[in-house]
Homo-oligomer: A and B are copies of this chain.
Amino acid sequence: MEKEISQAVIRRMPRYYRYLDELLDAGTERISSNDLSKRMHVTASQIRQDLNNFGGFGQQGYGYNVKFLHEEIGKILGLNESHNVVVIGVGHLGQAIANYSNFAGLGFKITGLFDVDPAIVGKEINGVEVHHIDDLEECLKDRNVDIAALTLPKSQAEKTARKLVELGVKGIWNFALVDLDELDNVTVENVHLSDTLMQLSYNITKKN
């Protein structure tokens, strides 16, 4: 890898992807960084800088072709390849993820659900059977699962994460209320919903 691209840039890419998706739906063929900047409430300069981290996708005097740019950003984000996802912990949040149809459209396919609760093991959610967590190893064999969503109590999170890494999982989408940053050989994305709620609470409180 030549130049390291900052996470600040990466965080913005899915947002570009979304806006381009909307433009595509609206049948817009091309867009300038200036017009896009007005829609997205960011500077045109930032858009051009961000995109040029990955290559020159535009054309002087023309702007950016919406369809092409949408595809390219998709490739950058790895959406051109499909990803197999397992959900560990089939509580309410796990079920919400298993049922969220939007992910499929982005190339993320839920291929397995796991829990310890006998009341739910064996049931089917959105066409996928819930297995017991003890069958994890067997179920993941030759399945090419690269992402695991962790929606289980924090006490189980790290232990389970380590096991998943052993079984070849490359990315952990962590919803458990603990930071899983110090794990080797895996990429972790921590999503702490309660943190965002507290942020909101701060910003409301401040405005009094």
- Cβ-defined contact, A191 with B189, below 8 A: no
- Cβ-defined contact, B92 with A100, below 8 A: yes
Interface-forming stretch among A55-63, A64-72, A157-165, A199-207?
A199-207
Asked if A143 lies at the interface with its beta carbon under 8 angstroms from chain B, I say no
Oligomeric state, in number of copies? 2
Knowing A95-B96, A189-B196, the reply to whether A203 touches B106 (Cβ < 8 A) is no
Q: Select A203's contact among B79, B177, B187, B203, beta carbons within 8 Å.
A: B187
Per DSSP, chain A at the interface is helix
Q: Select A202's contact among B13, B191, B198, beta carbons within 8 Å.
A: B13
Q: 1/0 contact trace for A168-208 toward B, CB 8 Å?
A: 00111100010101100001010111111111111111110
In chain A, positions 136-175 with a C-beta closer than 8 Å to chain B are 146-147, 170-173
Knowing A147-B204, A204-B171, the reply to whether A198 touches B14 (Cβ < 8 A) is yes
- Cβ-defined contact, B14 with A194, below 8 A: yes
- Of all chain B residues, the one with the shortest Cβ separation from A178 is B18
Contacts of A116 in B (CB 8 A): none
In chain A, positions 61-116 with a C-beta closer than 8 Å to chain B are 76-79, 81, 83, 91-93, 95-97, 99-100, 102-103, 106, 108
Contacts of A119 in B (CB 8 A): none
- Cβ-defined contact, A204 with B92, below 8 A: no
Knowing A14-B192, A95-B92, the reply to whether A202 touches B76 (Cβ < 8 A) is yes
Asked if A123 lies at the interface with its beta carbon under 8 angstroms from chain B, I say no
- Cβ-defined contact, B200 with A147, below 8 A: yes
Known: A17-B198, A96-B96, A189-B203. 18 other contacts (CB 8 A): A7-B199, A10-B199, A11-B195, A14-B192, A14-B194, A15-B192, A40-B179, A77-B201, A78-B198, A79-B198, A92-B92, A92-B99, A92-B100, A93-B96, A95-B96, A103-B197, A170-B207, A187-B200
